């Protein structure tokens, strides 16, 4: 049985959704970031980076949401990562963008101290993040207007991974709530049984206020 260390609404939500879709037994273990549980010695033994998700499999701690989604799809295939090389590359490119670009943009908004030490510069870094994030989601809104899901009418792992970022944006980035195609996409995602089950387990709404 797997163990999934998660924090409600974090990127670990995507892994939670995939596990629900796979319908495999697993034990969810909540990590309260606000209480600093990710900074305890016991959690650092699982992930020295002090981040969720962490998935335990056969006494091995696996980390990073993108890697876990791909690995779980390989173990429990459900057509969420196309076998055709070109289509697969497109899905992986979107997931990499979420990990390497969009996540970093949110980090500059919420944790500017990771990037600069000067107090005045911290404020500047955080302030500049919001218009950049709005531009990212405006472009994303245009992409989501073209298909039922992100890349096409076929659901992929990229859709699971995107969901937490959209939830964050609704409360953190003014203007995102007015992006019509993005809101319609979120409604469609919210109707998926695996998404409903994951949100219920984490006790969070589809839309973060």
How do residues 7-24 score in pLDDT, each as one tens digit?
A: 999 999 999 999 999 999
Q: How far is CA 56 from CA 35, 141, 161, in A?
A: 22, 35, 19
Separation CA 156–CA 92 (nearest Å): 10
How do residues 168-188 score in pLDDT, each as one tens digit?
A: 999 999 999 999 999 999 999
The reply to whether 69 and 94 lie within a common domain is no
The reply to whether 56 and 107 lie within a common domain is no
Contact 153, 191 (CB under 8 A): no
Number of domains in the chain: 2
Identify which of 3, 1, 14 has the alpha carbon closest to the alpha carbon of residue 199. Answer: 14
- Would 96 be classed as within a structural domain? yes
Structural domain range at position 17: 2-75
pTM (2 decimals)?
Answer: 0.96
């Amino acid at each position: 049985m797997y163990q999934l260390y998660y924090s409600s609404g974090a990127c670990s939500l995507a892994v939670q959704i995939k596990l629900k879709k796979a319908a495999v037994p697993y034990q969810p273990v909540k990590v309260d970031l606000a209480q600093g549980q990710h900074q305890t010695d016991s959690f650092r033994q699982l992930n020295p980076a002090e981040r969720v998700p962490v998935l335990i499999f056969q006494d091995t701690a696996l980390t990073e949401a993108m890697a876990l989604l791909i690995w779980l799809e390989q173990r429990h295939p459900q057509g969420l990562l196309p076998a055709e090389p070109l289509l697969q590359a497109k899905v992986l490119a979107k997931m990499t963008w979420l990990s390497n670009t969009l996540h970093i943009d949110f980090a500059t908004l919420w944790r500017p101290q990771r990037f600069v030490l000067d107090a005045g510069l911290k404020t500047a870094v955080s302030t500049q993040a919001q218009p950049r994030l709005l531009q990212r989601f405006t472009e994303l809104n245009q992409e989501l207007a073209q298909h039922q899901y992100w890349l096409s009418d076929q659901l992929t792992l990229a859709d699971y991974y995107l969901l937490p970022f959209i939830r964050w944006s609704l409360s953190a980035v003014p203007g995102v709530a007015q992006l019509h195609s993005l809101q319609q996409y979120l409604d469609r995602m919210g109707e998926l049984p695996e998404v409903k089950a994951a949100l219920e387990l984490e006790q969070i709404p589809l839309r973060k206020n």
